[in-house]
Structure 1
Amino acid sequence: MNIKRWLISIALIFVVIASLGFLKFQQIQAAIAFGESFPEPSGSVQSAFAKIMEIENSYEVIGEAKAPKSLRITTEYAGPIIYVGFAPGDKVTQGQILLRQDSQIERANLKAAKARLALAEAQFKRQATLLAQNRTSQNDVDMAQADKSIAEAEVENLSSVIQKKTLVAPFDGMVGLEDYQVGQMLDANTQITEIVGTSDKIWIDFALPQTALQPSIGDMITVSTIGQSSTALTARIIARTPTVNSTSRQIVYRALLDNSNNALSPNQMVSVTVNGAPSKHVIVPTTSIYRDHTGNYVYALKRDSNNDWRAHPIKVQLGQRIKDSQVILSGLTGNEFIATEGAFKLSEGLLVYTQATKAESESGE
């Protein structure tokens, strides 16, 4: 009897377990069917073809005119002014005295230093004579020579201070609008004026991004003033920096321009146009560029086995931007079917809905 009860119990348990398993299986199948009823994630974008175009390779940047000779004149010592040799905006010549500071104390000290030098020279000669007669020691001669050298150095130092208190023009040029009066007290390192050298030439400094087509030394550039109607001027590149600026990633160039008609003034901002030989490049709309921390990408759209569009990222190197188009230096060869507006929401292999153009349809993709 007991065995029969156990068999009945086991059979009942088996039936309950089998019923629960079948119910769970039906629930799982229903969940799978429910999940499959949702559409696959996708994105809608606009599209275009990557084009191959010939570009003039002209690049327009802002430059600055600089004088080949320009210098800020400052005082090295403090002291009152006893003479002013220029007026604001004057044209000065090389060697012209611009300003003289009072140096009476230094001149008095110089007289005393010269007297000590004369005494030290006489003492040195006397000791040298006595040494020749074996009437003094070499040590006394060395001390006399040292005193003579110290006196000479003191004279040279005072003479240098007196000379530096007289400021002269280092070259022909125009001075600034600074105005000084006799008796005015000046501190050390006071800027007196800025002198700009007189020259028929002027430098044009400008910078180009490292992605731009770089010109060569000797190439010609076009220079024009900003905000003014003027004739474009031509300048010749004479130098460039040997390295790319680590902050701006730009290369600085210097060009020489004939400024005999004084069309440009030093420190004036100008527009610089650098022209290069035409070349063919791949062009895409700027909206097709997707950027992240790993680089710049373009999403190519390709058909899958079901003839649906799928997104495939292609890493590209960017060149210059031309209005609403972007030059691609590497990564694309041209004629690729790419996503434009809305490309930022795509990912690898994502289903894409876009309107294929007639040209794309005829290509057989």
Structure 2
Amino acid sequence: MSVTRQLLILLVGAVIVAGGWFYRGPIFGIEEMADEQSAGKKSRAAAVVVADVKFLKERLRTEAVGTARAFQSARLHPVTNGHVTGVSVATGAKVGKGEVLLELDHKSETLAVDLARVRLEAAQRIAERLSKLRRSGASTQAALDDAVTAVDAAKIELERAQVALDDRYVLAPFSGRIGMTDIDVGDRVDTSTEIAVLDDRSALLIRFEVPEAMHGRIAVGDPVGLALWSGESGPVEDGTIYDTGSRIDEATRTFVVRARIPNPDDRFRPGMSFRVTLDVEGPERASVPEVAIQWGGDGSFVWAISNGVARRLPVSIVQRQASTVLLNGAFEQGDKVVTQGLHRMREGTKVEILPGAGPEAAPVKAYQDATTS
């Protein structure tokens, strides 16, 4: 027998055996065994990891450069002209409210006060005399009224003379420290002459600008971090929002905010630049681990677990915070998201949390519902 004939016989036998296998398989239950294996594969549990969905407030951080000014500041000028007869101003000196800083010649004003006081005393004596005469009927009511009017006029004249005398002194309007001055005794000054600058540096106001988007989210009293822009070593100082501007700048689309920082040790000076850090809480968002985020043709999504069933939940990323992400999505209280084993997830997959698993990262069994395609 030739080799070709032998090969042909073997090929025909192999075809007959294969046909018998497929024909007799259902009889011996082979097809049922295959179906059972396929069903077992579908229902086989797969360990995945889930994490609780938390709800946190969005944090908006703004950083800006701010410029400091004294809590109170005044450029001191005399209210009248004259020659300087006394100077109590010393650069850097600490003064109290009402303390005399500078004195002008005041001889004429002192005499005017003395004259007004004499006239007032004379008018009062005349009024008292006419009052006694009126009670006895020796004087008229009209004469007494004129005397009383003269007393009132003399009081006004005395007060006016006293104001003119007071104007010859420059007083501190509030407590603070005096800046540099070039005024000496003998100088002639007028209302345009600047004597010195008085600063209340017990606290500073830091002026900075923030974007228009922050309007309505910043309130007086909110905390703010302040650090010297010069890079001076030291911790970030804690300040508070003092006030906010009432207008939005049309060119820069920003508005002005001022923060107050205590300065009890007088370490900071007006004019210094500060690095301002302002954290503002926004609306509440769902927070999940970053590894739970998946991407598809329609954007980002997560596999959310609620009532023991997985669902594909579209989300949009709002903000990243450390290893978590704040999301916009239709989350509910008590939801969990899958963080590991994501490739096993399908819409409608049932899950079962294994005993002893923690609430934050709990391994679960997942099996495909027989009705899920």
Q: TM-score range by the shorter chain?
A: 0.5 to 0.7
CA distance in 1, matches of 2:245, 2:279: 21
Select the structure of larger CA radius of gyration: 2
CA distance in 2, matches of 1:177, 1:130: 63
Cα drift, residue 277 of structure 1: 4.2
Cα drift, residue 208 of structure 1: 1.8
CA distance in 2, matches of 1:127, 1:245: 69
> CA offsets per residue over residues 214-257 of structure 1, 9 Å max, x none?
33333322222234344452333243337334656544333232
- Tell me what 2:160 maps to: 157
> CA offsets per residue over residues 183-239 of structure 1, 9 Å max, x none?
21111353211111252x322232323223633333322222234344452333243
Percent of counterpart pairs with the same letter?
25
Cα drift, residue 271 of structure 1: 2.3
Cα drift, residue 105 of structure 1: 0.5
Does 2:107 match 1:104?
yes
Does 2:191 match 1:188?
yes
CA distance in 2, matches of 1:98, 1:224: 35
CA distance in 2, matches of 1:198, 1:236: 15
- Tell me what 2:137 maps to: 134
- Aligned ranges 1:231-270 → 2 under 5 Å: 231=234, 233-241=236-244, 243-245=246-248, 250-270=254-274
- Tell me what 1:176 maps to: 179
CA distance in 2, matches of 1:279, 1:117: 71
**TM-score normalized by structure 2?**
0.54
- Tell me what 2:86 maps to: 83
Say which of 64, 71, 88 aligns to 2:74.
Answer: 71
User: Do the aligned partners of 1:78 and 1:187 also contact (CA within 8 Å) in 2?
Assistant: yes
CA distance in 2, matches of 1:177, 1:101: 19
- Tell me what 2:169 maps to: 166
Question: Helix, strand or coil: the match of 1:254?
Answer: strand
Cα drift, residue 99 of structure 1: 0.8
CA distance in 1, matches of 2:245, 2:141: 58
CA distance in 2, matches of 1:175, 1:263: 16
CA distance in 2, matches of 1:258, 1:108: 47
- Tell me what 2:276 maps to: 272
Cα drift, residue 75 of structure 1: 0.8
User: Do the aligned partners of 2:224 and 2:241 also contact (CA within 8 Å) in 1?
Assistant: no
CA distance in 2, matches of 1:263, 1:80: 37
1:276 is aligned with what amino acid? V
Cα drift, residue 178 of structure 1: 0.8
CA distance in 2, matches of 1:198, 1:56: 33
User: Do the aligned partners of 1:220 and 1:234 also contact (CA within 8 Å) in 2?
Assistant: no
- Tell me what 1:60 maps to: 63
1:187 is aligned with what amino acid? D
Distance 1:275-1:127 versus aligned 2 partners, 3 A rule: same
Say which of 207, 210, 219 aligns to 1:208.
Answer: 210
- The worse-fitting range, judged by mean Cα deviation, of 102-111 and 216-225 is 216-225
Does 2:142 match 1:148?
no
1:163 is aligned with what amino acid? D
Question: Helix, strand or coil: the match of 2:102?
Answer: strand
Distance 1:229-1:244 versus aligned 2 partners, 3 A rule: same
Question: Helix, strand or coil: the match of 1:236?
Answer: strand
CA distance in 1, matches of 2:131, 2:192: 45
User: Do the aligned partners of 1:224 and 1:230 also contact (CA within 8 Å) in 2?
Assistant: no
CA distance in 1, matches of 2:262, 2:118: 56
**TM-score normalized by structure 1?**
0.55
CA distance in 2, matches of 1:270, 1:82: 42
CA distance in 2, matches of 1:262, 1:121: 54
1:92 is aligned with what amino acid? V
User: Do the aligned partners of 1:237 and 1:253 also contact (CA within 8 Å) in 2?
Assistant: no
Does 2:126 match 1:123?
yes
Distance 1:110-1:138 versus aligned 2 partners, 3 A rule: same
User: Do the aligned partners of 1:210 and 1:244 also contact (CA within 8 Å) in 2?
Assistant: no
Alignment length (residue pairs): 227
Question: Helix, strand or coil: the match of 2:146?
Answer: helix
Distance 1:277-1:155 versus aligned 2 partners, 3 A rule: closer
CA distance in 2, matches of 1:105, 1:261: 44
CA distance in 2, matches of 1:239, 1:90: 27
Distance 1:240-1:169 versus aligned 2 partners, 3 A rule: closer
CA distance in 1, matches of 2:107, 2:75: 26
Cα drift, residue 149 of structure 1: 0.8
Question: Helix, strand or coil: the match of 2:71?
Answer: coil
CA distance in 1, matches of 2:67, 2:245: 19
Q: Which runs of 5+ in 2 are unaligned?
A: 1-56, 286-373
